[in-house]
A and B are shown apart, each in its own frame.
Chain A
Amino acid sequence: MNAALEVRKLCKSFGALKVADEIDFCLERGARHALIGPNGAGKTTFINMLTGRLRPSSGQMLLGGEDITELGQAARVKRGLGRTFQINTLFLKLPVIDNVALSVAEREGVAWRMFRAANAHRGVIDESMDLLQTLGLAEDARNSVARLPYGKQRLVEIAVALGLKPRVLLLDEPAAGVPSLESHRILEVLAALPGDIAILIIEHDMDLVFRFARRITVLAQGAILAEGAPAEIAENQRVREVYLGERHV
């Protein structure tokens, strides 16, 4: 049993529309896995089911061998499933460090404390600071997120997820909205992530996908079209038709 995250026959329909059709999927431990597919292929629905925001119609999800299909969002996070959002979902008015510290505090189970000052929780603050340091955000720690350029905000988004010390990390288009000149910074950060985290990335930036991923799954119309190493996917005729063909239209 070497899967960090496993999905069996996952289905989801909205009325007559099938957005997930018997998806079988496996994320190895320490994986660098990309999920690609044309718009409307069902990638975000898939992520939302994995994180528990959306209930599947049928099927099973296992995190580290444990069935999480019936668990809520918070329970999955507690078991090591972290995510980032395609559109920044941050505390814009709060300082950068608080964005991360709120996440660290939840993981450490200190967020219910009502009497000791947050400021006195050195462990939480130091850990958040270390994270910001590794992502090159240390100087901005006390600035509010709203003041940062969008590229840096994307990094904060990643930092918040890392604050959960996830075993599995789902990155929903981490480079979305970032000017291509700055996207290399995102790639650097991703490349430097600890090797024991299993990462599933959804991304439209093919350059980033092929440089980062060691395995690629292609989703089209709610079903898995192909899966394999980047080189295999690049050569796959059906993928080229469905996916690349669509891009050129």
Chain B
Amino acid sequence: MQDFLSSLVSVAFHGLAYGMILYVISVGLSVTMGLMGFANLAHGVFAMAGGYVMLTAINSQGAPFPLAVAGAFVAVALGSMVLERLLYARLYTAGELEQVLFTIGLIFMAVAVARLIYGALPQPVHLPEYMKGQLRFLGRDFPTYRVFLILFSIAIAALLWFGVERTRWGAMVRAAVDNRAMAQSVGVNTTRLFTLTFSLGSGLAALGGALGADIIAIQPTYPFEHLVYFLIVVAVGGLGTLRGPFVAALLIGVADTACKYWIPELGAFFIFAATIGILLWRPGGLYGRAAT
């Protein structure tokens, strides 16, 4: 019983950390899909890029951890802004198939570039000393870094919530998600709004990729391998909401960890089956608008 309780806490804790990382990575995708109606399969590329930027800064430049993380966010946000202006923006009105193909093309290119520069193996993660220990809480040890991850991600979620619910930018985003034509007609510059939102979303993905490098290894196949999870978070949560991906990411993080811990012979089977079930029950996701 004691053992079970102990493993329960452990699964919940690690599941939570994994779920929070999934959230930080995927929330940008949810907004891109909800706001621009763009099926961006290449979202994982930004997360991977964030991971590489951070690890390069730490491993070969000796940059301090906080600076490296911030650098990942800024570099990817700026880079994605360029991409959005040059390429993505041209395909907002194109069909789903074109968007899917275009973003698959981006994945191929990113995978190739990553392998050229870094080789096929996962990058080693060197955390600073102060992140390495254990924190003692209620008579149990918790890895400091994961505690930090959870708290940091919660802070980001809160910040996002504040941004969307309480700021002018958030009001414009919400208006444009509801009715783009209406938003435009009342003077929202949707082009700029899209660019900014896209780059923020990509920056967040980079942040998630960087912070989560310890959990989801940074390697060239990253955008292919984990895409399913990011998409599941978005689809199960529902498009264009903040709460949806949050709840979905936590559910998936915990469920996936639990499955792999207790019934490893099933692997990720349960997650995919559950996703199919949820999407059939609610095609728009848990918190999505009824009709899609």
A and B touch in the complex (CB under 8 A): no
